[in-house]
Amino acid sequence: MKRKKIERTLLLLSALILLGGCSNPVENADNPIVQEEKKALLTPEEVASKLVDSLKNGDEITSLMSEHIVFIFKSDDRCDGNTKGTVANLASKSIDFPFKIKVTTDGKGWADKVVCKDKKMASTYEMEFELRKKLTDWDRFEGSKYDKTTNSIEIWGGGASDYMRAFLKKETNQNVIYKLEYNIEDPG
């Protein structure tokens, strides 16, 4: 007798759980899941615009990024040549603070020894990169239109030499930056 009562109670509870889970979420606007779904998906263009505004205003950019990003540094210098480095799994919160990056310089600058008295030889070393510090030298913050073929935007700012590229992807129902590239090109 007790066993039948327990089975009926379990069956009744199971039915209530199933019926409760099938309620229309639109009717339950206080439900946090519904509120999350109502949060507007930022278009890539909106992410790009927010990125440019945040950089210009000195705001953090972590909220526009994937949890971990690929960070790429590239520099083309008339004296030292090309310097490149990558951090493949940088915690996005690190981008707003100084961090270390291993770079390689090829030592193949194109300028002569008169212009470049202290030419670097080819080498690999660790350098500190600080985006905030780099941006203090920028005289403008100009973003390109979102490029659908590369899923990226370019932001120009440090005279004719410094610019960034941000690559976007859809992740967890949101467009986020998953790769950030900082470039310095010697305009000489």
User: Over the stretch 97-152, which tens digit does the pLDDT of each residue have?
Assistant: 999 999 999 988 888 777 788 777 889 999 999 999 999 889 889 888 889 999 99
If one compares 37 and 94, the residue with the highest pLDDT of the two is 94
In order, the DSSP letters of the chain are -HHHHHHHHHHHHHHHHHHHHTS-GGG-TT-HHHHHHHSPPPPHHHHHHHHHHHHHHT---GGGEEEEEEEEEEEEETTTEEEEEEEEEEEGGGGGS-EEEEEEE-----S-TTT-TTPPPSEEEEEEE-HHHHHTT-S--EEPPPBTTTTEEEEEEETTTEEEEEEEEEETTEEEEEEEEEEEE---
- pTM, two decimal places: 0.75
Mean pLDDT of 13-30: 49
- pLDDT band of 153, cuts 50, 70, 90: very high
pLDDT of 39 reads 54
Question: Looking at the predicted structure, is the pLDDT value of residue 95 above 90?
Answer: yes
Question: Looking at the predicted structure, is the pLDDT value of residue 157 above 60?
Answer: yes
Mean pLDDT of 25-38: 48
Q: What mean pLDDT is reported for the chain?
A: 82
